[in-house]
Amino acid sequence: MSEIAIRVNEVSKRYLISHQQGNSADSLVGAFAGGIKSMFKGGQPVAKEEFWALKDISFDIHKGDRVGIIGRNGAGKSTLLKILSRIVKPTTGRLEFEGRMASLLEVGTGFHGDLTGRENIYLNGSILGMSKQEIDSKFDEIVAFSEIEKFLDTPVKRYSSGMYVRLAFAVAAHLEPEILIVDEVLAVGDSTFQKKCLGKMEEVSQNQGKTILFVSHSIETVLRLCNKGILLEKGRIKAIGSMNEVAKAYLDTNTGISSKRIWDRNDKHNPGGADIRLLSVTIHDHQGINKEEYDVTEKIGISMEYEVVKEGLMFTHSYNFYNEEGINMFNTHDTVSDFRKEIRATGVYSTTMWIEPNLLAEGVVMVGVAAIKIEPFTILFHEQNAVTFTVRDAMLGHSARGEYTLGFPGVVRPLCAWTTLKK
C-alpha cells in the first residue's frame, strides 16, 4: 500500500426496500400514508425488495491522484463516497486506506450544532488526530478562508447553509488530511466561493500531493481538476482511467456520439429526406486531423458532408453549439460563401466552418448541424446532437488564463484587446 492511498476490493452495498402489499399508491406520499395506516390498523403484509446501490466495485487510488467520480443521478456516486468516508458500511467487500482523511459530503458534516465555529474547528482537528498546537498553526488561515470571522463564536446550528459549507470546506482543506473527499455540497455556496474552493483543491493536490476524490455533474470542472476518473452506471463501474477517457465514455453513454459521425445515405433514419442526405460531420484541427480534444488557443474546424439528391435546391448551412449543461452557446450560419445563393446541381458537397482560437470556454461542446432552404424558409435537415468535442486549457503547455488559476464563468471566453493609459 506504500503508493496506494485507497484500495477498494469488490465492495457492494445493498438496501432493503419495503413495499406494502395491496397498497395501490404509487407516490411517495401514498407510501408514507400506507405506512402510517399500518401502524394503527395492522395493514397488509410488507414485501421486501433488494436494491444494490453498488455492486462489486474494485479500484486503487494512488497517492496524489485527483479522481473525478461521475455518472447520472442514481448511479451510486454518493453511496460510494459515504462508504469511502466510513459513514456507511458496505454490505460486502473490503476497504484499505493510508493517511488521514477528511470528507465533505453534506452540509455540516462532522459538526456539532451546539458548538461554536471556533470549537468545531478544534473538534474536527482532533478527530483527524491533530494536536492543539497543529490546529493553532492553521486556525487563522481557516477563519480567513471561510469568511465567517464575525460568527466564529456563534453556535453553528444558527449558521446558514452557505456559512456551514464555507467553514466545513475550510476546515477539511486546511487541516492537512492526506485524503480529501468532496461531494457536490459546494453547490450550496455562491459561485465566487465555489471557484475559491476549486482553486484550493488544485493547490493541495498539485502542490502538496494530496489525494482528492470529487463528485460533480460538471464535466468542465472534473476535466480541469482531476487527472483520473471513475464512471458509475447503475451501481457498477462503467469506465475507469484518465479523466479525459472517462469523460468521453460518459458523454458516449449519454449521447452515443463523438467528434466524428458518419450516416448511411440509404438509411431510412438519415437526418435528410428525399432532397438531401447528410453523410458526415467531423471536428478537426487546422491540419485536418480529427481529435476529441482541443486547446482553447487552437483553431477548430467543423466540416459537414452531404449529398444533394434533387436538383434545383438553394440553401445555406447552420451550426448550433451547446455546452454540457445544454445551454446554447451560439449559433452560426453561412452568410458569406457564394454557394448559399446558387442553385445546386446533384452531387456530394462539403462545407467547413472555423472557430477562431481563444473563443470557446473549457468544457464539453455539443454541435448541431442543419441545412436550411432560403425561400420559402424550410429546414431540409437538422441533427441537433451531431458531434461533440472537449475544450481544454494548457494542453499545449501554456495556460491562456495567464497567472489566474480559477475557472472562468460564461459559455465563451474570448481573448479581447485591452489598452491601459495613465492620465
Separation between Cα atoms, residue 423 and residue 420, nearest integer Å: 10
Task: State residue 43's pLDDT score.
Answer: 55
In a domain, 250, yes or no: yes
Separation between Cα atoms, residue 85 and residue 389, nearest integer Å: 34
283, 300 contact by CB (below 8 A): yes
Domain final position from 234, 254, 274: 254
Strands 179-182 and 46-62 turn out to be: unpaired
Task: State residue 286's pLDDT score.
Answer: 94
In a domain, 137, yes or no: yes
In a domain, 304, yes or no: yes
Cα–Cα–Cα angle for 360, 362, 365, rounded to 5 degrees: 70
Same domain, 221 and 349: no
Angle between helices 161-174 and 117-127 (to 10 degrees): 40
Instruction: Kindly provide the b/e burial profile for residues 34-56, where b requires at least 16 CB atoms within 10 angstroms of the residue's own CB.
Output: beeeeeeeebeeeeeeeebbbbe
In a domain, 367, yes or no: yes
Domain count, the chain: 2
Same domain, 234 and 102: yes
Kindly report, residue by residue over 197-215, the tens digit of the pLDDT: 777 887 777 777 789 898 8
Q: CA gyration radius for the chain? A: 27
- CB neighbours of 414 closer than 8 A, spacing ≥ 6? 358, 359
Same domain, 165 and 181: yes
Same domain, 115 and 249: yes
Q: What is the 3-state secondary structure (H, E, C) of 172-184?
A: HHHCCCCEEEECH
Same domain, 291 and 174: no
Query: Which residues constitute the domain of residue 199?
Result: 4-8+58-254
CATH number (domain holding residue 364): 2.70.50.60
Task: State residue 59's pLDDT score.
Answer: 95
117, 139 contact by CB (below 8 A): no
Domain final position from 225, 254, 283: 254
CATH number (domain holding residue 220): 3.40.50.300
In a domain, 406, yes or no: no
Same domain, 232 and 375: no
> Cβ of 20: how many Cβ atoms within 10 Å?
19
- The amino acid at residue 230 is I
Same domain, 244 and 271: no
Within the chain, which residues score under 70 in pLDDT?
1-2, 18-47, 106-110, 184-191, 252-257, 325, 395-397, 403-407
In a domain, 52, yes or no: no
Instruction: Kindly provide the b/e burial profile for residues 108-142, where b requires at least 16 CB atoms within 10 angstroms of the residue's own CB.
Output: bbbbeeeebbbbbbbbbbeebebeeeebeebbeeb
Same domain, 197 and 267: no
Domain final position from 254, 272, 289: 254
In a domain, 15, yes or no: no
Same domain, 309 and 239: no
- The amino acid at residue 184 is E
User: All 3 cell numbers of residue 122?
Assistant: 478544534
Same domain, 203 and 140: yes
Kindly report, residue by residue over 349-368, the tens digit of the pLDDT: 999 999 999 999 888 899 99
Task: State residue 27's pLDDT score.
Answer: 47
Q: In which region does residue 256 sit, left (phi positive, over 0), alpha (psi from -120 to 50) or beta (all else)? A: left
Q: In which region does residue 43 sit, left (phi positive, over 0), alpha (psi from -120 to 50) or beta (all else)? A: left
In a domain, 409, yes or no: no
Same domain, 226 and 300: no
Task: State residue 417's pLDDT score.
Answer: 86
Same domain, 243 and 274: no
Query: Alpha helices of 232-342 — where are they, by DSSP H?
Result: 243-255
